[in-house]
Structure 1
């Protein structure tokens, strides 16, 4: 499955990542690479929990667009 992630850098210099399609699924890392590794683990754990509780796994409804400026 593919999910859109939002990456921001906080005031302490950490990269914070969240998954809009999976409420409450977020993590951080000292580097962007570390944050992306961590979010993959968080997504896996989130989905495993949903399966364990027989809950529906949300799909990512995000769309990519190209804007010529």
Structure 2
């Protein structure tokens, strides 16, 4: 899943406040952008692990554009100081135990899925691709 993240530079403290609008309470303070990207990725994973531990659903990621427009309306003064990035997180480990199921699909569709998986670093397996497609459809 691709989560939008927001950086706001605090000149007085000489650091960045980094937050994830789709995950309330998930945020960090960091000195550099590069370090911030690494730290927020780990913070997101920790946040999702805690949600999974309590049996909570993984929150859907809204589009970056939606977040930008919303933030601009709610915080016009700090909007000019904010910049955005996207962090891609494999949410599979936070969805619970995996179960094997039998699925029947047309041969051509399976071939297209396998080709997409082999050419993409985003999907590691056919099952991962199908799970991502299902998750996207359920999020609608």
Query: Do Structure 1 and Structure 2 share a fold, with TM-score over 0.5?
Result: yes
Relative to structure 1, the CA distance from residue 63 to residue 37 in structure 2 (aligned partners, 3 Å threshold; closer, same or farther) is closer
CA distance in 2, matches of 1:63, 1:3: 8
CA distance in 1, matches of 2:64, 2:14: 29
CA distance in 1, matches of 2:9, 2:64: 23
Q: Which runs of 5+ in 2 are unaligned?
A: 67-140
Query: How many pairs are equivalent?
Result: 65
Q: Which runs of 5+ in 1 are unaligned?
A: none
CA distance in 1, matches of 2:64, 2:8: 19
Aligned to 1:3: 3
CA RMSD of aligned residues (A): 1.4
Q: Moved runs in structure 1, 4+ residues, more than 6 A? A: none
| Residues 46-61 of structure 1: pairs in structure 2 closer than 5 A | 46-61=47-62
Secondary structure (helix, strand or coil) at the match of 1:47 reads helix
Based on CA coordinates, which of the two structures has the bigger radius of gyration? 2
Secondary structure (helix, strand or coil) at the match of 1:35 reads helix
The structure with more helix, counted as a fraction of residues: 2
Secondary structure (helix, strand or coil) at the match of 1:4 reads strand
| Residues 8-47 of structure 1: pairs in structure 2 closer than 5 A | 8-10=8-10, 11-47=12-48
Relative to structure 1, the CA distance from residue 63 to residue 8 in structure 2 (aligned partners, 3 Å threshold; closer, same or farther) is closer
